[in-house]
Amino acid sequence: MSLLKLKATTKDYLWGGNKLVQDFGKTPAGEVTAESWELSCYPGSESVIENGEFANKTIIEYIEKNGRGVLGSKCEQFKDFPVLIKFIDAKKDLSLQVHPSDEYAKEHENQYGKTEMWYIIDAEKDAFLYYGFNREIKKEEFAARIENQTLTEVLNAYPVKKGDVIFIESGTLHAIGAGILLAEIQQNSNVTYRVYDYGRRDKNGNLRELHVEKAMDVTTLAPVAEVKPNNGHIASCKYFTVDKVVISQKDDTKFCGNVGKDSFLHVLIVDGSGVIRCENEEMVYKKGDSFFLPAGSGNYEIEGCCEALLTYEE
CATH of 4-218, one of 2.60.120.10, 3.40.50.150, 3.40.50.300, 3.40.50.12160: 2.60.120.10
Q: What confidence score (pLDDT) does residue 251 get?
A: 65
Q: What confidence score (pLDDT) does residue 226 get?
A: 72
User: Would you say 96 and 142 are in contact if contact means Cβ atoms under 8 Å apart?
Assistant: no
Domain ranges of the chain: 4-218, 235-312
Total count of residues recorded for the chain = 314
Candidates 219, 211, 199; CA nearest to 142 is 219
Q: Residue 35 half-sphere exposure, CB side, CA atoms within 13 Å?
A: 20
- Dist. CA 201–CA 183, nearest whole Å: 26
User: Would you say 255 and 245 are in contact if contact means Cβ atoms under 8 Å apart?
Assistant: yes
Confidence band (pLDDT; 50, 70, 90) for 54? very high
Q: What confidence score (pLDDT) does residue 200 get?
A: 87
Establish whether 194 is a catalytic residue.
yes
Candidates 246, 260, 292, 234; CA nearest to 85 is 292
Exactly one of 135, 145, 194, 277 is catalytic; name it: 194
- Any idea which of 60-74, 87-101, 224-238 has the lowest mean pLDDT? 224-238
Class for the domain spanning 235-312? mainly beta
Same fold, 4-218 and 235-312: yes
Confidence band (pLDDT; 50, 70, 90) for 225? confident
Confidence band (pLDDT; 50, 70, 90) for 158? very high
- Dist. CA 215–CA 198, nearest whole Å: 17
Largest Cα separation within the chain, whole Å, is 61
Q: What is the pLDDT of residues 88-146, one digit of tens each?
A: 999 999 999 999 999 999 999 999 999 999 999 999 999 999 999 999 999 999 999 99
Q: Residue 100 half-sphere exposure, CB side, CA atoms within 13 Å?
A: 26
Q: What is the DSSP letter of 63?
A: H
User: Would you say 81 and 34 are in contact if contact means Cβ atoms under 8 Å apart?
Assistant: no
Confidence band (pLDDT; 50, 70, 90) for 229? low
- Dist. CA 274–CA 245, nearest whole Å: 13
Q: Report the share of the chain in percent with pLDDT over 70.
A: 97
Q: What is the DSSP letter of 22?
A: H
